[in-house]
Amino acid sequence: MTPRTSFEVGGMGHSIKRKEDPRFIRGKGTYVDDVVLPGMLYLDIVRSPYAHAKIVKIDSTKALATPGVVAVITGQDLAKYNLHWMPTLMSDTQMVLPVEKVMYQAQEVAAVLATSRYAAADGMAAVEVAYEPLPVVVDPRKALEPGAPVLRTDKKDKKDNHIWHWEWGDRAATDRTFAEAEVTVKQDIYIPRIHVASIETCACIASFDKVDSKLTVWMTTQAPHAIRTVFALVAGHVGLAEHKIRIISPDIGGGFGGKVPVYPGYVIAVAASVLTGKPVKWVEDRMENLQADSFARDYHITAELAGKKDGTLTALRIKTLADHGYTDAAANPSKFPAGLFHICTGSYDLKAAHVEVDGAYTNKPPGGIAYRCSFRVTEAVHTIERMADIMAHQLGMDPADFRKKNFIKPEQFPYKSALGWEYDSGNYAGALDLAMEKIGYAALRREQADKRRRGELMGIGISSFTEIVGAGPSKHFDILGLKMFDSCEIRIHPTGKAIARFGTKSQGQGHETTYAQILAEELGIPASDIQVEEGDTDTAPYGLGTYASRSTPVAGAAAAVASRKIQDKARKIAAHLLEVAPDDLVWEPGKFSVKGAPDRFKTIQDIAFAAYTNHPQGMEAGLEAVSYYDPPNLTYPFGSYICVVDIDKGTGEVKVRRFVAVDDCGNIINPMIVDGQIHGGLTMGFAPALLEEISYDESGNIQGGSFIDYLVPTAVETPKWETGKTCTPSPHHPLGAKGVGESATVGAPAAIANAVVDALWHLGVRHVDIPITPAKVWKLLRDHGVSE
C-alpha cells in the first residue's frame, strides 16, 4: 500500500519511529514501581508450601514484633467485610486470602504490611502457619475419575471436579462424515501449561483518601475500565463507588494477557489502604509471578481428521480436557468458556466439524488465560496444523500441496466455517506461495532427500494459520456482561494540535505512535502533533482494554470513525470560511479545497483555529468527537510460516536453521511496528515449541517455578527471523486493517513441531508434544533405533 500522506505527516504505511521510545530507552518510563507516595506502606505475601492443605493456625505474633511491621492481614480479617472471596472473570470464585484451606502451591495465605519493602519481607518470613496436608489432585484426568477428592468444598452442592462441558458444531453431520471417510487420522496432543513471564511483574499502589473517600489505584492492568467496574461491583458494600475509583495503568512492561485478571494481591492492597488510610504498594517478585499468576494452555486434546484418498479434507472432531487449576479464572468472553477454540478448522474448507471441551479443577493456580493468544486460538491452530501435517504425511503428499488443495479459496470469502465463524477475507495460497519462494522450498526438499540418504535428520515444517481477533461484535462478546466495544475521543486544539484518548492500554505495542498515525491519516494533522493517552479511567473514554489483538480492530476503528466525525464538522467550517457549499469542497489529508479551484483551500489547522475563533453562527464551537465502536465482525489475519530444522542425532537437539514468516494483517498502520510485533511474537512461539513448560509433581510441587528451569529464550537461542507480507484488507474495518499482535505466537509453534516430525516421520515418529526438548527427541531416536 502506498502511503497517502507524506512521511512528515506520518499517516498509515509509514515506519515512523515510536514516540514512546525516547522515554523507554533512557529509563524514563513510569512503571508502577516508579511511583512513590508519601507515607506509603509495603505489602508482602505469605504463600503456601502445600498444594492442598487445611489451615490449622496462623500465628502473627513474631511477625508483628518485627521492626517496621504494621499489620498482618489474614482471610479471617477480610471475611469480616466479605472480601475473602472474589469473582473471577468467568463468574467462578477465587480466594483473596483463605480461611479454611489452600488449593495450590504458592497460593496467598496472609499479607504483611510494613514501612519498607525489606521489613515486609522479614515480617512475611516470621508469620507462622500450621497446615494439615490434604490429598492432592494434579492430573485433570484423575480429577474427573469417580472417587477423586472433591476440591471445591466451598461450593455446597459440588460433588466432583468437573467445571463445565461445552460443545460446538454439528455432531451428527460430523460423525456421518467420519463414517463415510476414506481416510482418517487420530492423535492425542498435549499443550502444556506455560507462563507469559513478562519483564515487569504485576504490581499496584492502592491509595485511599479517607477525607473524600476516593480510591486511586496505579495498577499493571491491560483493562483499567473493566477493573474499575469490577472493583465497584465487588466492594460497593464497603463504600467504594465507581465515581470515587480511579484506576491508572501507567507504563507497562509487557502484558501478554497475564495482566488481564484481577489477582488477590491487588485486592489485598486495596483493602489494606482502605483500612489504614495509607497508600499501599504491592510488587510481586519474579518467582511469585511465575508460580502464582494465571497460566496459559494446559489442554489435553484428542483430534481426528477425515478426508478422501486424493487429499481432500472433509471433517474434524476434537475432544479436549482443559485443566483450569482450582478456579476458572480464564479471561474469556463469557459466552465462550473455551475461548475461540472453535476457530480450530483453521484455514481449511471442511464440510463438518464438532468440538467438545470439558473443564476440570485441579490443585494448581488458575489457568486458561493468555500467553499472547486471542482466547485459545493457539491451541486451535496447533491442533489443526499438526493434524493437517499428519494427514499429508499419511497420504504421502507434500504438506504444502496438501494445504493448497484444502485452503478456503479467495473467492469463497466472506466464508462461513463449519463451526459458524464468518471469515472476513483471506488469500491463504498467496501467503504460502510467498513463504515458499522466500525460503526456497523446492531446493530444501531436494537437500532433505540427499541428507536422508546420508542418514542426516533435517525437517521442513509449515504452519498456515488463521487467527481470529478483535472482539467483538457486542452481541456475542462480553466480559462479566460488559460489552466488548472500544472507544476513542479526540479533541483538536485551536492551533491544530490534538489529544486523543482511548479505552485500550498499550503494554509495549506502540499505541502512542500508531493511534496518532491513524489520526494523521484521517485528518492530515502530523502524528507528531497528536498526543495519545490511555489507561487513566478519570480521563479516558470507557473501553474494554488491550488483549486479543483488539486495539487496532476495535479502538483503531473508533479512531477512524471519530476522525471522520471531525472531518465532517471541519467541512462545514471550511465551507463557511471559503463561502462555498460543503459539497463543493474536496478533502485530501490535511485540507479542504474548492472543487475546480485547488488554490482556494483551508488547512485542517486553519479550520481548527476557526472552530474556536470564527465558527459559523448556529454551530457549536470546538472541534471534538468521540466514537464507541462496536465492530460488525472480528478480523481474521493469517499467515504461512515455514521452518527448517536440523536435528543432532547424538544429543537430540533441534536447531532452527531458518524460519520464514509471511503475515497478512490487511492494511498496515506502521510496518516497522508490525515487524516488531512479529519478531517478538515468533520468539514467544519458539519458546513453548522448544523450551517452556510448567509441570507439577504428584504432590503438586511446581517444576519450573524460577528462571533456572523455566527456560525463557535469550538472544543466544533465538533464531534469526525472516519476514514477509501480503495484504488482504478487512472489508468491514474502516481502515481495512486487521490485528496482528498475536499472530506469530499463534502460528509459530506448529511450524516448528511440524518440522521436527517431518525430520523423523520416515523413522516412524508421528507426533511430538511441545516443548520439544533434546531429552524427548533423544529418547524418540533411541526408541526408533537411531543412535549415534
Among 10, 75, 255, 631, binds ligand MCN (CB under 6 A): 255
Calpha distance 224→248 (Å, rounded):
7
Who's near 138: CB < 8 A, 6+ residues apart? 51, 362, 363, 364, 696, 697, 698, 700
- Exposure string for 383-412, b = 16+ CB within 10 A, e = fewer: bbbbbbbbbbbbbeebbbebbbbbbbeeee
CB of 221 to ligand CUM, least distance (A): 11
Task: Provide the grid cell at 563.
Answer: 476522525
Is residue 639 near ligand MCN by the rule CB under 6 A? no
Residues 676-715 that bind ligand MCN (CB under 6 A): 677, 680
**Of 66 and 677, CB closest to ligand MCN:** 677
Q: Concatenate the DSSP letters of all residues of 460-504 into one string.
A: EEEEEEE--BS---TTT-EETTEE--EEEEEEE-TTS-EEEEESS
Contact yes or no for 279/201 (Cβ under 8 A):
no
CA–CA distances in Å: residue 780 to residues 96, 457, 653, 764? 44, 13, 12, 10
Choice from 366, 741, 749, 771 touching ligand MCN (CB under 6 A): 741
Residues 257-296, interacting with ligand MCN (CB under 6 A): 257
What is the per-residue binding string for ligand MCN in 641-670, x denoting contact by CB under 6 A?
Answer: ------------------------xx-xxx
Pairwise CA distance, residues 518 & 472, whole Å: 20
DSSP 567-592: HHHHHHHHHHHHTS-GGGEEEETTEE
CB atoms near residue 707 (< 10 Å):
12
Rule CB under 6 A: choose which of 104, 131, 168, 256 binds ligand MCN. 256
Query: Whose CB is nearest to ligand CUM?
Result: 257
Strand bridging mode 313-323 / 352-360: parallel
DSSP one-letter string for 400-441: HHHHHHHBPPGGG-SEE-TTS-EE----HHHHHHHHHHHHTH
Of 274 and 678, nearer to ligand CUM (C-beta) is 678
Binding site for ligand CUM (CB under 6 A): 222, 255-257, 370, 372-374, 547-548, 742
Nearest approach in angstroms of CB 230 to ligand CUM is 17
From the list 94, 105, 107, 222, the catalytic residue is: 222
222 annotated active-site: yes
Residue 739: which of ligand CUM, ligand MCN, none does it interact with, CB under 5 to 8 A by kind? ligand MCN
Residue 509 near which of ligand MCN, ligand CUM, none (CB within 5-8 Å, type-dependent): ligand MCN
| Identified catalytic residue from 202, 204, 344, 373 | 373
Q: Report the partner that residue 591 touches, choosing among ligand CUM, ligand MCN, none (CB closer than 5 to 8 A by kind).
A: none
3-state secondary structure of 122: helix
Is residue 657 flagged as an active site residue? no
Piece in contact with ligand MCN (CB under 6 A), picked from 41-49, 81-89, 299-307, 738-746: 738-746
Residue 145 annotated as catalytic? no
Mark residues 85-124: x for contact with ligand MCN by CB under 6 A, - for none.
Answer: ----------------------------------------
**Footprint of ligand MCN on 360-419 (CB under 6 A):** 370, 372
3-state secondary structure of 753: helix
- Is there a catalytic annotation at residue 94? no
- Site size for ligand MCN (CB under 6 A): 34
d(CA 543, CA 534): 10
3-state secondary structure of 611: helix
CA 328 – CA 336 distance, rounded (Å): 12
666 binds, among ligand MCN, ligand CUM, none (CB under 5 to 8 A by kind): ligand MCN
CB of 232 to ligand CUM, least distance (A): 23
Neighbours of 216 (CB within 10 A): 21
Name the residues that contact ligand MCN, by CB under 6 A.
254-257, 370, 372, 507-511, 514, 546-552, 665-666, 668-670, 673-674, 677, 680, 737-742
| Residues catalogued as catalytic | 222, 372-373, 742
